[in-house]
A and B are shown apart, each in its own frame.
Chain A
Amino acid sequence: MVSQLKKQLMMILLKRILFVFLIQQVALTFCNVDAQTRGSEIIYLQTDRTVYIAGESIYYKLYVLDAVTKKCSGMSKVGYIVLRAVNSAPTLKIRVKIDGGMANGSISLPDTLTSGVFQLVAFTGFMRNQGEEHFFHKELTIANRFDKALDFKLIKMTPKDSSQFQLTQLEPKTKTDKVVYGMREKVHVSVGKTNSKSNVSVTVFEESAIPSTYKSIIDVLKDSAVIQNRTQVLNYHSPETKAKLLRGTVIDSKTQRTIKDAIVLLSCIDSVPNLQYAVTNSKGLFQMLLSDYYNGKELFLTIKDAPENQKWQIKIEDEFALSKKWNPSLIAENENYKEFIVKSQNIVYINKSYQLNKEVNKKPTIEDHFICPEFYHCPVNTVFPSDFVALPNFLEIAVEILPQLRIIKEKGEYHAQMFNDFLREFDIHSPAFFLDGVYEDDINKIIELGSDQIKKIELIAAERAFGDLVFGGVISITSKSNEMINSKPSSYSLRLKNDKLNEGGNLVEVNPTTNQNQNIPFLKQLLYWNPNMELNGTDSTDFEFYTSDNLAKYSIKIEGISEDGTPISTGTSIQVTNQINITDK
């Protein structure tokens, strides 16, 4: 009797524990989903086409959306686009400036690209926290203009890929005034009203049967519901809310140990001494904000007071790095698609011959309101060595015309000290040396510069603060012919080129009936590209373009996002017919 009661009690207890456990699991899952998606981003990239000839431009529109609200994200200001071939390193790396969750421009494909399938990968630095599987991927086919064999392999399509974009079923409805058009004829398109104001990109391009794993913005948003792996958050990437973040590590190359509290200095060649610094954390990691000031400049990084007996090194993280190579399933049979590629090659050839490729309209350059991180903002003593008798080296210059500076030689190495006017003695802290605006970590590198090489010397004979760093004065040398370029970096220093922001342009609309000479061929596979079309929630939106002499079936694709976070993916198609066919030419 007692044992039966005990059994019953145990059963009740077990049921209760099981119930509590189940409830806990459900609650935890809910919390995790909520936490994982909060603050993360989704990226979508629309391109004008999926088949290109090397030398053409890829026109793109990038959307960065908030993973929760699905609205344009205002967080990341920098986006990265990588173009890579099968099983190889990136062919093109592009950094774009994101404004209000959107960016657009063009990527110029080098003439020398070999024919094959390529993959475009788009992401933000912050998306690295979610894992690379959340990056946007899109497959393109690119053929070299001079490739006659065209024996490259194409992407193997799955039934899912081929059924993803059904133009006729999509909202808002897109209508054209006709279905069939003649050459150089105006096409009028009307896009139905949307729920709220929307920003979309529109492309009208020649359809091809070349396989492409096309994903609409709706598909991408559906796929983004997959929960990310929590462990990947451990190597946290801060969102690039202002500009690019340069991430790196200081390590001891002998022991491979990371160094904490190391001071990493950054400057670049300029007419004014400039400096930025970062201190490494417990994992030896540092981050620096690369504002527009650093765009396209060579960066000079060094470690302040690196110990002589240790081999400290700066390792910079590649912001474009992708951990896995792209290895898709390919098919060798491309005979059916050769005709289209040959036609595309011919069109590009004709347009180049007639110099009709000046379509890319350079976007207005980004406003130059960047701030130079100047090392000082105070009056300085300026000395022009040319005002004095020519001196062979900096040692002589210091002795003869720079009384505030004392250079001493110890164990074969030169050291500098600056006279402190207030203390009436030479300062114990070393002065900061700059050559052509760059922080120079070693005076021995400039000791050989004489009056013939030096244009100007600026001095501050006082202990200076730059943030939390203290220097015993400043000596800034401006050389006559940018001597800093020839300066050899120390083992603990690094020089690297900071890539320029992609400033590609957009397609210029051409009216063939007025601007084009009727005798000049007007052949286009991309009839229209507008990366920024506003659709409103009250009325339909109309746009127009002209057909060309290229007779084909064209797709009109419209992709975008509304203000309330509703994805828009719609389109239709038109036919251009006439008796002339370009492949016959």
Chain B
Amino acid sequence: MLMICISLNAQTNDLLKAPEVDSIFSSKLTGEFFYESKQYIGSQFFNKEWTDGDILLSTGEMIHDKFLKYNGLLDELVWLNKYNYGKFKLDKSFVKEFWLKNVDGSNLHFIKINVSDTSKVSGQDIFVEVEVEGKLSLYIQRKITKQWPQDVLVDNVLYRYDFIEATPKYYIKLPSNEYLVMTKLRRLAFLRLFPEKKKAISKIIRENHLNIKIESDFVKVIELMNQEAVF
């Protein structure tokens, strides 16, 4: 009897409960159809599989649970629409931040930053993965670049493919909001970026037995520099 009452109560409550209408009324994602070029050897995506993710729009609105891939070759966020199976490059100016959930067991946070490019007069918006945020911040652009061309014979037809591979770019944001850029993780190159703090940084690396050539160790160095207030 009680079960009947509880179930009836639950049903009535369902009718009166405010349904989750936010998803219906949230902003619509906008983008251009993504045609995936097959002329590459290697993957142009940072996350190989479609990953569940959330997007923070430039309007401040949050869009949840979309299938996403980050294309490192084009520096674009690609969305798979599960209703029409279309793949769309999202309008970059509309995306402020995004989160990729459970990529190799971890959740990754990307933000859009504006960095000046020597080849262009104005700054350029790029997506970077947030590794450390503090006085010193470390962002990694998960860049994928063309390496060298290779001719491949398929059905007696010679095709030219490009080898592509990950070439991450490291952006260190200083307290002055300026960015220092590293394309390769080298101890000397890193120390040269901070000539006045060279000794303190060397000490951190030495005492913690860190190898800057390893990305996780490099992240640790920046974290320790923040902790030990090197700046």
Contacts and interface: CB of A to CB of B under 8 A. Distances in A.
Given A39-B17, A378-B92, A468 B81 contact: yes
Residue in A36, A242, A276, A467 whose Cβ sees the most chain B Cβ within 10 Å:
A467
Given A38-B16, A375-B30, A468 B83 contact: yes
B18 A371 contact: no
A34 B11 CA distance: 12
B16 A376 contact: no
A399 interface: no
A190 B154 CA distance: 94
B16 A24 contact: no
B32 A377 contact: no
Contacts of B29: 465, 467
Interface in A221-260: 230, 233-234, 236, 238-239, 241-242
Contacts of B81: 465, 468
Q: Is the interface of B mostly helix, strand, loop or mixed?
A: mixed
B13 A38 contact: yes
B12 interface: yes
Contacts of A39: 13, 16-18
A35 B58 contact: no
B16 A462 contact: no
B27 interface: yes
B47 to A, nearest CB: 20
B146 to A, nearest CB: 18
Contacts of A423: 35
Interface string B5-16: 110110011011
Interface stretch (A25-33, A152-160, A477-485): A25-33
A264 interface: no
Given A34-B9, A36-B12, A377-B94, A239 B28 contact: no
B24 A278 contact: yes
B65 interface: no
A378 B30 CA distance: 9
B25 interface: yes
Interface string B22-59: 00110111111101000000000000000000000011
A75 interface: yes
| Chain B: interface size category | 35 or more
Contacts of A464: 30-33
Interface string B71-113: 0000000010101101010011110000000000000000000
B21 interface: yes
A238 B61 CA distance: 21
B2 interface: yes
Contacts of B83: 468
A289 interface: yes
A77 to B, nearest CB: 13
Contact of A241 (B9, B18, B61): B18
Contacts of A239: 18
A236 B35 contact: no
Contacts of B229: none
Contacts of B6: 31
B61 A129 contact: no
B83 to A, nearest CB: 5
A422 B8 contact: no
Given A24-B4, A470-B86, A462 B33 contact: yes
Interface string A454-485: 00000010111111101000000000000000
Nearest to A460: B32
B1 interface: yes
A28 B12 contact: no
Contacts of A462: 32-33
B12 to A, nearest CB: 4
A236 B15 contact: yes
Contacts of B93: 377-378
A328 interface: no
A430 interface: no
Contacts of A470: 33, 84, 86
Given A464-B32, A470-B84, A27 B5 contact: yes
A371 B27 contact: yes
A7 B230 CA distance: 95
Given A34-B9, A468-B81, A373 B27 contact: yes
A233 B1 contact: no
Contact of A242 (B2, B12, B25, B33): B25
Given A465-B33, A468-B83, A470-B86, A238 B19 contact: yes
Residue in B27, B33, B81 whose Cβ sees the most chain A Cβ within 10 Å:
B33
A466 B30 contact: yes
A35 B91 contact: no
Contacts of A233: 15-16
B13 A35 contact: yes
A465 to B, nearest CB: 4
A350 B84 CA distance: 69
A164 B9 CA distance: 36
Contacts of A34: 9
A27 B84 contact: no
Contacts of B79: 465
Contacts of B1: 20, 23-24, 27
A126 B8 CA distance: 22
B144 to A, nearest CB: 20
Interface of B: 1-2, 4-6, 8-9, 12-13, 15-19, 21, 24-25, 27-33, 35, 58-59, 61, 79, 81, 83-84, 86, 88, 91-94
27 contacts: A23-B1, A24-B1, A28-B5, A31-B9, A34-B9, A35-B9, A35-B12, A38-B16, A39-B18, A236-B19, A238-B19, A241-B18, A275-B28, A278-B24, A287-B21, A289-B24, A376-B91, A377-B30, A377-B92, A378-B32, A460-B32, A463-B32, A464-B32, A465-B86, A467-B28, A468-B83, A468-B84
List the 7 closest A-B pairs by CB distance, nearest first. Answer: A467-B28, A463-B33, A35-B12, A377-B91, A31-B9, A377-B94, A289-B25
Given A377-B93, A464-B32, 16 more contacts: A28-B8, A31-B5, A32-B9, A35-B12, A126-B18, A238-B18, A238-B19, A287-B21, A288-B25, A371-B27, A378-B93, A422-B33, A462-B33, A465-B81, A466-B30, A467-B28
